[in-house]
Amino acid sequence: MKLLTCVVPCYNSAAYMERAVDSLLAGGEEIEVLIVDDGSSDETGVIADRLAEEYPAVIRVHHQSNGGHGSAINYGIANAEGLYFKVVDSDDRLVKENLPGLMDVLRKHTDAENRADMIFHDYIYDKPEKENSFRITYRGKLKPDAVSTWDQCRSFHMWNQFMIHSLIYRTQFLRDIGLLLPEHTYY
């Protein structure tokens, strides 16, 4: 079993998806990168297949007709092999240097007594069309390596809310609650 599955929903993202996938490779073979080509009409599928050939122990690709962002995530949840699950949109990426530390945190939560349902982390939001990016961080909002309760999360202001990009879920938790995102809907 993999420690972490990262689903990368892709739709016509040939220009930037490789950067997103590359940011995940620092996780080594404990990570599974599941690229979902959601009916792209550009070279996204070709690039995804090439990456899967280059990293067969890490990357799997699924090609589907366009079902939207939710459809790609639903496929990822249903087919994830990792204990934990994360969405990394093709125009986002993780901080490569921080991924080994994040994997260490996940390893601490592998036994049944210490499993967390959700883990928060920072990420980088890329704006490919504007050629800029910015880092989303929760420093000062949550203590690193600390367990927080929902009561502590409720005190956040609207602009500090957690996006799917900053969350890692226990895969079985998502399956147990029957999470199914709407298809043909962006977010």
The angle at the Cα of 75, spanning 26 to 77, to the nearest 5 degrees, equals 65
Taking residues 68-82, what's their average pLDDT?
97
Domain membership of residue 128 (yes or no) is yes
For residue 45, what is the domain's CATH number? 3.90.550.10
Number of domains in the chain: 1
Give tens-digit pLDDT for 2-15. Answer: 999 999 999 999 99
Q: Which amino acid is at 134?
A: F
Domain membership of residue 187 (yes or no) is no
- Going 153 to 155 to 158 to 159, the CA torsion angle's sign is negative
Domain membership of residue 17 (yes or no) is yes
Domain membership of residue 184 (yes or no) is no
Q: Indicate the average pLDDT of the chain.
A: 87
In this predicted model, which residue has the larger pLDDT, 138 or 93?
A: 93
pLDDT at 179: 92
Q: Which two tokens stand for residue 170?
A: 């226990």
- Going 31 to 74 to 18 to 131, the CA torsion angle's sign is negative
> Domain range spanning residue 18?
2-176
Domain membership of residue 166 (yes or no) is yes
Taking residues 41-55, what's their average pLDDT?
98
pLDDT at 161: 61
Domain membership of residue 181 (yes or no) is no
Least confident window among 34-48, 75-89, 116-130: 116-130
**Percent of the chain that is helix, strand, coil (3-state, to 5):** 35, 25, 35
Q: Is the pLDDT of residue 159 over 70?
A: no
Domain membership of residue 182 (yes or no) is no
Taking residues 157-185, what's their average pLDDT?
83
Domain membership of residue 118 (yes or no) is yes
Give tens-digit pLDDT for 116-149. Answer: 888 887 766 666 666 667 676 666 666 667 776 6
Residues in the chain, total: 187
Strands (E), 54-160: 59-64, 82-87, 92-93, 118-120, 123-127, 132-136
